[in-house]
Structure 1
Amino acid sequence: MDKSAIENEVRRLQYEIWTRRHVRYPLGVPDLPTLFDPRNVAEHCDLYYDTRSRLETDYRGGGEAAGLWQRDRSTILVSSRFPYEVQRFTAAHEIGHFILHPHVGDRTLHRELPVGSGGWQRSPLEKEADYFAACLLMPRRAVVDEFTARFGKHPLALTETVAYHLKADAGGLFAAPRGSILFAKAVARAEQFDRVRFSSLAQYFGVSAHAMALRLDELNLVAPYL
């Protein structure tokens, strides 16, 4: 499945949740990161969501999983051993399997490692679920709006002035190899720009700086040093 088709599936799901927002939140609708929190989305999809202190898997000779999706039980389990942001992304990833991969049947799917932690080559199914999670937790329009509110025009290009306002290591940013997301990560975790303080994009969307940086790069909101 290509990325546009995955994003369309996410938008369909988000639209369903958005149209029922006043039913679920009669006393006031929360912000989008809360509205599209994986627990709320799982409940909307009639899925059971819970955490465990440790999740074992027999895949590739054993090991620990960040999350498990059991279709035959309509159950999502997430390991609490990982940080809050990783738990959210993992849960969204498992919801992605539920929405995108009905052909898997009763097979149990699991996420072994957080995004960006290395490891072997991820399968197409895992990559699709990762992209679903990114779109769910970091909706395109919301990311653009929040980015613009903090940094103004986009794409934001790396310059000495921009590095200064980000309070980032300019030397490291300019020395980063081509294709690096180091600058995007600095933007993702920035809590001030041009003397204005704010919650970082990563914190606002409840994701890791790495996941936020990948989304900023994908949406062409940041540009490398030219």
Structure 2
Amino acid sequence: MNDAYIEKAATDLLMQIYRDRRYLWPDQDVIPMMMRSPSIAALVCGYDFQVHSTLGDTQFNRHNTGTRIAGLIDRQSIKIAVATEFGEKVQLFTGAHEIGHLVLHENTVMHRDRAFDGSPLQIPRPPAERQADRFAACFLMPQKLVRERFEFMFCCSGQLRFSDVIAYHLDPINPDRLLYAPKESKERELALARCTRFNNRNLVSLAQQFGVSDSAMAIRIKELDLVRWP
């Protein structure tokens, strides 16, 4: 199961939500941002989506492992549940992660997940978890929508060509930090992900717009090759 397959699966689900939008939101016009909803995705897939303050009690953690559970999928009960105790970004990413398990891993009957917001980890994740993470990133940060918002915010068409002027806009105190950053560092992508002022305009950062962590958005910017390096 490669990245292209996973991205297509996420895109297909978003397209299904778009086709069903008049049924899902009968009394309002919806924008693409609203369609990136794990609870709506669960509904389209025929699952009950539940939100609880915690999933740490014996109802959800029968083996009493002591692990704090952020989300779970239960195919027998046809439900997905997420905990609010970890914050909105973790809740959103975890919900999309559970949808990833639902769509990608048909043999998963009951699965519980720890808190995660899509940021890089020092410890490698098992393949199924990486796949669900990838699905969540593609579902919450759709390629077309991210590109459109990125180009509008940073006044570019396609890739943003980094220069001393761009570096100054993003970090007027120490622009050289970004101008000479190693390509593998993601420093430029992080600066773009969290940017709230550019070209004399106040902005809502890309990470905030999409409801994800700065690191998750930086990774997505990197994946989509939105920054041109010399």
TM-score category by the smaller chain? 0.7 to 0.9
Partner in structure 2 of residue 98 of structure 1? 102
TM-score by length of 2: 0.86
Identity %: 35
Equivalent-residue separation in structure 1 for 2:23 and 2:53 (angstroms):
33
Partner in structure 1 of residue 7 of structure 2? 7
Partner in structure 1 of residue 124 of structure 2? 121
Task: Give the 4+ runs in structure 1 shifted more than 4 A.
Answer: 174-178
Q: Does 1:183 align with 2:188?
A: yes
Q: CA deviation at 1:184?
A: 0.6
Query: Contact between 2:90 and 2:115, CA under 8 Å: does it hold in 1?
Result: no
Query: Contact between 2:96 and 2:139, CA under 8 Å: does it hold in 1?
Result: yes
Equivalent-residue separation in structure 1 for 2:66 and 2:124 (angstroms):
17
Partner in structure 2 of residue 160 of structure 1? 164
1:150 pairs with one of 150, 153, 170: 153
Q: CA deviation at 1:161?
A: 1.1
Summarize deviations over 1:91-138 as a string: whole Å, max 9, x none: 00000000000022x232424433226353101100110111111111
SS at match of 1:54: coil
The 3 A distance-change label for structure 1 pair 66 and 156 is same
- Give the structure with the higher percent helix: 1
Query: Contact between 1:89 and 1:207, CA under 8 Å: does it hold in 2?
Result: yes
Equivalent-residue separation in structure 2 for 1:198 and 1:20 (angstroms):
32
Q: Does 1:27 align with 2:27?
A: yes
Q: CA deviation at 1:33?
A: 2.0
Q: How many residues align?
A: 223
TM-score by length of 1: 0.88
Of residues 212-221 and 11-20 in structure 1, the stretch that sits farther from structure 2 once superposed is 11-20
Equivalent-residue separation in structure 2 for 1:84 and 1:187 (angstroms):
21
1:203 pairs with one of 208, 214, 229: 208
Of residues 186-195 and 27-36 in structure 1, the stretch that sits farther from structure 2 once superposed is 27-36
